[in-house]
């Protein structure tokens, strides 16, 4: 989010808290978020795409709600209303094609007929699928569909192909297609929230949600750009308490604004200053000494933290103002003394998600096997799968895969070490424990920082060149 977007959301929060009648709050959040995702989506080179992508999110989300409705539940009046309002917003925005408005949220949208036809086809298809497929199959189909879509968007080669096809479809020069043209804001997070609801429905723990609650949960504006990933039941609890919430509450406003202020300082002052000398492909190539590479690497690590945790603070602060309690993402990660607690305090909402939907189910299914594999085998496989998912969630590319494996190795090593030394550690004096803790913090910090090389460099060769430079071998810019 940039300063202008934050300012607008703050203004919206002010109106919401001071003026808006309490019973309209839920609707305001839903409508506001639906409109916001069009505004937040940056404009793209491919025609219509910056209108189509948010529309696609809305359509997929409505299908997701419909598919995760328990079989015996029918849509209620409120759901029909929410559906109608959303469709109206989508269609009205498409009218900016014909009418010049001072505030354009997207570039020129496609013709109204095209939008209506596409929506009708998608939604009708969804209704038919639910009518004719058994519920289990429907949910699995939805999940697989989301994963495939995610794969296409996040794999550079596939994204480029998709961009090429979209360009052909739009009558534009397809030779200019690049994967980066498919910059689908918020999709990674939306996809994971949707998959979460599908899995929770499959295991029976998803509460019954109205369309308005579901839709707002998936596209809630402050958390849309980069999370946090809330849990549906927690989000809904806040959402349902909105009408009873005190608007002009000094506590809420102070805490919310303080979080936002803290986040803005972290992001726009600290992180943006560190950016001047953070590791980047350009600077890495220009580096002339080993020391400078280390400075750049640590700057990158801290910049990443301040940028992301600053953004999270702003998102959570805005959430508080609107009355929605979003989960935390960070808890002093660089001060943790082992890699396991690091991962419990870095991008928590994502690592929790992966723990619930990859690590835990995978571990349990292996634990149930007869004969039961050794614990270490199970942990190794589960940890590797978990970290690979987290890595590839950022981008389906080799450097992120290696990053995931790097952390999996660290986590597994720590697990073994921890098991072997647990009893011994309990017997240490307090002083000795402090020394080990300090050593742990340094080792963990170094381990994580080195891991960021794979994050910062887009190709394996560039990353290896940086490693070589960091350890004093062969410096002087890759060709």
Partner 1 sequence: MMPGWDWLTRAKYTGGFMLRVLLKAAILFAIINLLFALTNPIPALGMISIYNLLSPGRLRLPYGESESSYNLSLYDLNAMFASHTLNGRHNPDEAAVLVMGDSAVWGMLLENKDTLASCLDSRALSVDGRPARFYNIGYPTLSAAKDLLLLDRAMEYQPDLILWLVTLENMPRREQLATPLAQNNAAAMRDLIAAYDLDLDASDPRFVDLDFIGRTLIGQRRALADWWRLQLYAFPWAQTGIDQVIGDYTPRSNDFDEDATWYELAGAEQLDDTTLAFDVLNAGIARAGNVPVMMINEPIFVADGVNSDIRYNFWYPRWAYDRYRELMREHADAEGWTYLDLWDAVPPDEFTDSPVHLTPEGTQMLCGQIAEALP
Partner 2 sequence: MTETEVREKLRQFILADLIKDPKYALTDDEGVVSGGLIDSFALAEIGVFAEQEFNVYIPDPDLTVAKMNTLNLMTARIMRDIK
Q: Which does 161 bind (CB under 5 to 8 A by kind): partner 1, partner 2, none?
A: none
Q: Candidates 280-288, 357-365, 383-391, 447-455 — which segment interacts with partner 1 by CB under 8 A? A: 280-288
SS3 of residue 344 by DSSP: coil
When binding is defined by CB under 8 A, the residue of 89, 116, 295, 460 that contacts partner 1 is 295
Q: Which DSSP state fits 184? A: -
- The Cα–Cα gap between 378 and 358 comes to 13
Q: Which does 19 bind (CB under 5 to 8 A by kind): partner 1, partner 2, none?
A: none
Count of residues interacting with partner 1 (CB under 8 A): 26
Q: Which does 355 bind (CB under 5 to 8 A by kind): partner 2, partner 1, none?
A: partner 2
When binding is defined by CB under 8 A, the residue of 71, 74, 368, 474 that contacts partner 2 is 368
When binding is defined by CB under 8 A, the residue of 155, 340, 437, 462 that contacts partner 2 is 340
x/- letters, 193..232, toward partner 2 (CB under 8 A)? -------x--xxx-------------------------x-
Q: Candidates 188-196, 225-233, 326-334, 426-434 — which segment interacts with partner 1 by CB under 8 A? A: 326-334
- The Cα–Cα gap between 477 and 286 comes to 6
Residue closer to partner 2 by CB (options 74, 422) is 422
Q: Which does 76 bind (CB under 5 to 8 A by kind): partner 2, partner 1, none?
A: none
When binding is defined by CB under 8 A, the residue of 133, 152, 283, 405 that contacts partner 1 is 283
Inter-residue contact 348 to 360 (CB < 8 Å): no
Q: Which does 282 bind (CB under 5 to 8 A by kind): partner 1, partner 2, none?
A: partner 1
Q: Which two tokens mark 33?
A: 């978020």
Give me the least distance between CB of 297 and partner 1, in Å please: 13
Longest dimension (CA), the chain: 76
Give me the least distance between CB of 202 and partner 2, in Å please: 10
Side-chain half-sphere exposure of 264, counting CA atoms within 13 A: 15
Terminal Cα distance for the chain, rounded: 36
Q: Candidates 61-69, 267-275, 415-423, 471-479 — which segment interacts with partner 2 by CB under 8 A? A: 415-423
Residue closer to partner 2 by CB (options 361, 458) is 361
When binding is defined by CB under 8 A, the residue of 375, 413, 421, 459 that contacts partner 2 is 375
Give me the least distance between CB of 309 and partner 1, in Å please: 10
When binding is defined by CB under 8 A, the residue of 363, 403, 453, 454 that contacts partner 2 is 363
When binding is defined by CB under 8 A, the residue of 145, 245, 302, 355 that contacts partner 2 is 355
Q: Which does 231 bind (CB under 5 to 8 A by kind): partner 1, partner 2, none?
A: partner 2
Residue closer to partner 1 by CB (options 302, 436) is 302
How many other β-carbons are positioned within 10 Å of the β-carbon of residue 329? 25
472 scored as a contact of partner 1 (CB under 8 A): no
292 scored as a contact of partner 1 (CB under 8 A): yes
Residues 223-262 close enough to bind partner 1 by CB under 8 A: 248, 250-251, 253-255, 258-259
When binding is defined by CB under 8 A, the residue of 99, 101, 276, 430 that contacts partner 1 is 276
Instruction: Summarize as ranges the residues that interact with partner 1 (CB under 8 A).
Output: 248, 250-251, 253-255, 258-259, 273, 276-277, 282-283, 286-289, 292, 295-296, 316, 325, 328, 330-332
Instruction: Summarize as ranges the residues that interact with partner 2 (CB under 8 A).
Output: 200, 203-205, 231, 340, 352, 355-357, 359-361, 363-364, 367-368, 375, 378-379, 382, 415, 418, 422, 426
């Amino acid at each position: 989010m940039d300063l202008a977007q934050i300012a607008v959301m703050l203004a919206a929060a002010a109106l919401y808290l001071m003026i808006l009648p309490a019973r309209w709050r839920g609707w305001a959040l839903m409508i506001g978020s639906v409109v916001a995702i069009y505004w937040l989506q940056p404009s793209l080179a491919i025609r219509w795409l910056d209108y189509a992508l948010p529309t696609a999110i809305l359509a997929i989300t409505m299908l997701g709600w419909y598919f995760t409705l328990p079989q015996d539940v029918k849509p209620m009046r409120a759901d029909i209303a929410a559906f109608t309002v959303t469709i109206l917003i989508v269609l009205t925005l498409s009218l900016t094609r014909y009418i010049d408005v001072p505030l354009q949220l997207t570039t020129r949208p496609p013709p109204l007929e095209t939008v209506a036809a596409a929506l009708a086809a998608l939604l009708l298809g969804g209704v038919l699928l639910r009518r004719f497929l058994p519920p289990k199959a429907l949910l699995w189909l939805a999940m697989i569909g989301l994963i495939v879509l995610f794969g296409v968007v996040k794999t550079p080669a596939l994204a480029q192909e998709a961009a090429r096809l979209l360009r052909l479809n739009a009558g534009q020069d397809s030779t200019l297609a690049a994967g980066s043209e498919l910059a689908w804001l918020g999709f990674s997070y939306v996809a994971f929230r949707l998959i979460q609801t599908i899995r929770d429905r499959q295991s029976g723990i998803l509460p019954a949600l109205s369309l308005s609650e579901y839709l707002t949960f998936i596209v809630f504006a402050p958390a849309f750009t980069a999370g946090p990933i809330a849990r549906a039941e927690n989000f809904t609890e806040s959402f349902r308490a909105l009408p009873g919430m005190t608007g002009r509450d000094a506590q809420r406003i102070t805490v919310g604004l303080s979080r936002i202020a803290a986040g803005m300082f972290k992001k726009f002052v600290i992180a943006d200053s560190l950016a001047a000398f953070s590791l980047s492909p350009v600077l890495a190539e220009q580096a002339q000494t080993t020391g400078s590479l280390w400075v750049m690497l640590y700057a990158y690590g801290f910049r990443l933290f301040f940028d992301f945790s600053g953004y999270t603070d702003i998102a959570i602060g805005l959430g508080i103002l609107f009355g929605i309690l979003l989960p935390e993402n960070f808890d002093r990660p660089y001060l943790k003394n082992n890699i396991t607690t690091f991962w419990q305090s870095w991008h928590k909402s994502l690592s929790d998600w992966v723990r619930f939907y990859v690590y835990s189910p995978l571990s349990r299914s292996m634990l149930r096997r007869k004969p039961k594999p050794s614990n270490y085998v199970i942990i190794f496989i589960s940890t590797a799968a978990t970290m690979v998912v987290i890595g590839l969630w950022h981008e389906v590319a080799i450097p992120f895969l290696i990053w995931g494996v790097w952390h999996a190795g660290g986590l597994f090593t720590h697990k073994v070490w921890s098991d072997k030394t647990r009893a011994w550690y309990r017997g240490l004096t307090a002083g000795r424990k402090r020394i080990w803790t300090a050593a742990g913090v340094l080792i963990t910090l170094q381990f994580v920082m080195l891991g960021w090389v794979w994050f910062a460099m887009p190709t394996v060769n560039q990353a290896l060149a940086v490693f070589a430079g960091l350890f004093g071998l062969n410096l002087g810019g890759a060709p």
